[in-house]
Chains A and B, each alone.
Chain A
Amino acid sequence: MTQFLQLLVAGVSLGAVYALLALGFVVVFKATGVVNFAHPALLMVGVYATARLRGVNHVPFALALLAGVGTAVALALLVQRLLVHPMAANSVIAVSIMTIGVDVVAQTEIARRLGADILPIGDPWQNRVSSVFGLTVPQTRLAALASGLVLIAAFFAWFKLSTVGIAMRAVAEDPETAALMGVRRARVAALAWLLAGALAAVAGLFLTVFPAPGLEPATGAVALRAFPAAILGGLDSTGGAVVGGLVVGLAEALSQGYADQLSFLGSGFHTVMPYAVMVLVLLVRPSGLFGTRELSRV
C-alpha cells in the first residue's frame, strides 16, 4: 500500500511536469494550428542554459533558471518570427514538418555540446527526501508537483480571465473573426510560442533533476512523451492536456514501480507505456478524450 501511494505521488508529480509540456504544445496548436515538433528542442536548450550557468559559471539557481527560461523563450520567438511566421500561408503539415527540421538542428547542437557527458543541473534539492504523511518522497518530486500545480493554475486563470487570454481563445475559436475584431493574430501566435518556450524550460528542469541523472541527449526522448499526453487529452483542449499529462505520468510511474510484476512485457516497458495508453485511447476516441470531434463526415 505504501508503495502504491508513493508511486501515486511520483506519478502525479511526473504527470504535472508532462502537463506543463503538453500545455505549451496545445497552446501553440490552438493559436496557430501548428504541431510544434521542436518542443523537445526548446526544453533541451532551456535546461542546457540553466545547467551551464549553474554548473560552470556558478550563478545562483533562481537566476540560472530564469536565464534558462529566457533562452528557451528567445529560441521559441526566433523560430516563430523567422521560420514559422513566413510560412503561415502554407499548410499546417508543411510547417509542422519544418519544426522537425528545427528540432533536428537544435538537438544535434545540444548533443554535440554535451558529448558523452551528463550535465548535472545543480538544483537546490539534490537527492534529499522528505517524509509526507508517512511516505518518503524525493524533494524534487514535491517541488515539481508544487510548481506544476501553481503554473497550471496560473495559466488557466490567465487564459480564462485576462484580455490577452481571451484574445488567444478567440483566435483559437475562429481566426478570421478574431482578426476582424481587432485581435492581432501575429502577436497572439508569438505569445503562444513564448508561453510554450517558458513552460518547456520549467518542465525540462524537473525532467532532469533527481531521480534523473541530469541533462543528456536522451532527455529529448523523455520530453517526447508529452506528445502522447497532449494527443490523448485532445490536441485542441488545454484541460485535456492536463488530464493527458496526469494519465501519462501515472501510467509511466506505476508501470515503472510494478516492473517486477509486469516483467512479461519486457524490461523498460515504462518508457513505452505512454504510447501504449495513447494508442488505446485513440482506438476508442480518434480525437482524444476532450478534443473537438471532426464534424465533416459524409
Chain B
Amino acid sequence: MSDSLTDVVPVDRPTGSDDRGTDPAGAPEPRRRGPVRARYAVALAGLVVLLALPLYADAFWLQLGLFAFAAAVAALGLSLLLGQAGQLSLGHSFFVAVGAYGYTALAGSSRTVGVSRQAGLALPPAVAAVLAVLLAGLAGLLFSPIAARLRGIYLGIASLGLVFVGQHVLFNAPALTGGFNGRNVPDFTLLGFRFGTSSEETLFVLGVPFGREEKLWYLGVAVTAAAYLCYRNLVRGRPGRALRAVRDREAMAAIMGVPVSRYKGYAFLVSSMYAGLGGVLLALAFGRIVPETFGMALAVEYLAMVVIGGLGSAGGAVLGAVFVSCLPAVLERYAAVLPGLAPAGSAGVSPAVAAKFGYGAAVIVLLLVEPGGAAAAGSRLLAAGRRFGCRVRSRRIPHPSQPAR
C-alpha cells in the first residue's frame, strides 16, 4: 500500500509524441526545423491577436481576460507543484491570498474607513508587487518544513488546513485586510504610468480610449507570458528533471543525488511565489478584495484548472485556467440563449451552478478518459494528424524504474 503511494502521478506519462519515437536511452532526437518554425509562427500570431484584442473587445471580455491571466499564473504554480513535483496541494488559494493582500497592504496607504483603521505602507505599487510575491514565497517557505516531509496525499490534506487558517486570519485582521468588507486595491503604476482610469486625461490608442481594463490587459499579457516562459525554462532544465525524478520515485531520485526534501521545498517555494503573483493580478482585476474569495472553492478551482489542462503542462495550465475562470461569466452572459439555464435567483440551474457542474464533470471525465488532460488530448490529435512534432509537454527522460514496475 505504502509502495503504491510513492509512485506519485504517472498520470502525465506521455501519451502523445514523447513515448513513441524516442529511443530507450532517451537521447533527445534532433529537432526538425520546419515544425519548430511553424510553432513560432503560431505563437507569434497568438501574441499579435492578444495584443490587438483591447482595440476591439469591450470591457466585459477584457475584465474576463484579466481574471484568466491571474488564474493562469497561479495555475502554472500549481502545475509545477502537482504535475512536476507530484505534490498535491489544496492550499493554493492561501498563497494567492497572501499575494493579493500583501500587495494591497503594502501599496495601500493608512487611512480610516468608517470606524476601523486600515494599515498600509504606501510603497510604490511595483515595489509592493515584488514584495508581495516574495511574501507569498516566504509563506511557502514557512510551510515547507511540513511540505517537504509529507507524502503526496498527506500534504494535500495538511495544506487544506492552510486555506481555513488563512481565511480565519483574513477575517480577523481588519487592520490589514479590511475584514469582512474587504479592502480597495490601489492602482498599479510602473515608472509613472498609471494602470487605471484617470479622470484628467484619457489615453487614446488608435482612436480607442484606454481605461483601466485595457491597460491592465497588457500588464496581464506581459506577466503571463513571462511566467509561462519561466516555467518552461525551469521544467526543461536540471531542476525540472530533478523534480520529476522525485515525483516518479523518491528513493531513485535520492540515489541519483537529488536532495529530495530540499527539492520538494523548492517546488513549494516557487509554486507559492507563482500563486502570489497570480494573487497580485487577481487583486488588480477585482479592484476590491474580500476574504470570502480565497476559500476552499478557489483552491479546488485551481486544482481543476491544472487537471483539466493536463498535469505538468504549461500550455495546459493556461488553457485550463482560461476555461475554469471564464466559464461562469460566459454562461452568465449567454444564459438567455443557452437551453436549460435559468437566470440567477430563479429556480432551475443558474449559470454559476452550471459552471461548477461543468468543471466538476470535466475533471471526472478527463481523468477517466484522458488522464493527461487537454494537453494530452491536443497532442494526440496533432500526432494523429501526421506526427507533427508537437512539443506540448516538456521532454522527459524515461527513467530506469519504469520498465521494471
Q: Is B53 an interface residue (CB 8 A)?
A: no
User: Chain A contacts of B169 at CB under 8 A?
Assistant: 266
User: Chain A contacts of B296 at CB under 8 A?
Assistant: 221, 224
A237-276: CB near B (< 8 Å → 1, else 0) gives 0000000000000000000000000000111110110011
A-B contact count (CB 8 A): 164
Q: Chain A at the B interface: mostly helix, strand, loop or mixed? A: helix
Q: Is A5 an interface residue (CB 8 A)?
A: no
Q: Chain B at the A interface: mostly helix, strand, loop or mixed? A: helix
How close is A104's CB to chain B, nearest CB, in angstroms? 4
B28-36, B97-105, B153-161, B205-213 - interface stretch = B153-161
| B300 and A172 contact, CB distance less than 8 A | no
In the complex, residue of chain B having the shortest beta-carbon distance to the beta carbon of A292:
B2
| A35 and B161 contact, CB distance less than 8 A | no
Q: Is B122 an interface residue (CB 8 A)?
A: no
| B161 and A296 contact, CB distance less than 8 A | no
Q: Is B229 an interface residue (CB 8 A)?
A: no
How close is A180's CB to chain B, nearest CB, in angstroms? 16
How close is B224's CB to chain A, nearest CB, in angstroms? 24
Q: Which of A103, A105, A231, A265 contacts B361 (CB 8 A)?
A: A105
Q: Which of B168, B173, B356 contacts A271 (CB 8 A)?
A: B168
In the complex, residue of chain B having the shortest beta-carbon distance to the beta carbon of A82:
B368
Q: Is B357 an interface residue (CB 8 A)?
A: yes
Q: Is B10 an interface residue (CB 8 A)?
A: yes
Q: A271–B152 Cα gap in the complex (Å)?
A: 25
Given contacts A33-B4, A286-B149, contact A101 B165 (CB under 8 A): no
Most chain B CB inside 10 Å of its own CB: which residue of A94, A109, A296: A94
Residues of B191-218 contacting chain A, CB below 8 A: none
Count, chain A residues at interface, CB 8 A: 58
| A91 and B7 contact, CB distance less than 8 A | yes
How close is B89's CB to chain A, nearest CB, in angstroms? 11
Q: Which of A35, A94, A104, A172 contacts B1 (CB 8 A)?
A: A172
Q: A196–B2 Cα gap in the complex (Å)?
A: 21
How close is A285's CB to chain B, nearest CB, in angstroms? 10
Q: Is B190 an interface residue (CB 8 A)?
A: no
Given contacts A112-B349, A224-B160, contact A93 B9 (CB under 8 A): yes
| A275 and B160 contact, CB distance less than 8 A | yes
Given contacts A286-B150, A296-B250, contact A104 B160 (CB under 8 A): no
User: Chain B contacts of A87 at CB under 8 A?
Assistant: 367-368
| A83 and B364 contact, CB distance less than 8 A | yes
Residues of B1-59 contacting chain A, CB below 8 A: 1-2, 4-11
Q: A112–B350 Cα gap in the complex (Å)?
A: 9
| B160 and A33 contact, CB distance less than 8 A | no
Q: Is B62 an interface residue (CB 8 A)?
A: no
In the complex, residue of chain A having the shortest beta-carbon distance to the beta carbon of B1:
A33
User: Chain A contacts of B156 at CB under 8 A?
Assistant: 35, 93, 96
Q: Which of A109, A175, A224, A282 contacts B150 (CB 8 A)?
A: A282
Q: Is B371 an interface residue (CB 8 A)?
A: yes
Q: Is B126 an interface residue (CB 8 A)?
A: no
Residues of B301-324 contacting chain A, CB below 8 A: 303-304, 307
Q: A96–B2 Cα gap in the complex (Å)?
A: 15
User: Chain A contacts of B383 at CB under 8 A?
Assistant: none
User: Chain B contacts of A111 at CB under 8 A?
Assistant: 353
Given contacts A33-B5, A104-B360, contact A286 B154 (CB under 8 A): yes
Q: A230–B304 Cα gap in the complex (Å)?
A: 24
Q: A112–B341 Cα gap in the complex (Å)?
A: 13
How close is B345's CB to chain A, nearest CB, in angstroms? 10
User: Chain B contacts of A235 at CB under 8 A?
Assistant: 153-154
Q: A296–B255 Cα gap in the complex (Å)?
A: 11
In the complex, residue of chain A having the shortest beta-carbon distance to the beta carbon of B87:
A93
How close is B305's CB to chain A, nearest CB, in angstroms? 12
Given contacts A97-B307, A101-B363, A266-B171, contact A92 B164 (CB under 8 A): no
Q: A9–B160 Cα gap in the complex (Å)?
A: 28
Residues of B363-378 contacting chain A, CB below 8 A: 363-364, 367-368, 371
| A97 and B349 contact, CB distance less than 8 A | no
Given contacts A35-B157, A231-B158, A296-B251, contact A275 B165 (CB under 8 A): yes
A-B contact pairs, 19 of them (CB 8 A): A33-B4, A93-B8, A93-B11, A94-B367, A97-B88, A100-B300, A100-B303, A100-B363, A101-B362, A231-B154, A266-B168, A266-B171, A272-B161, A275-B162, A283-B145, A287-B151, A294-B2, A294-B6, A296-B251
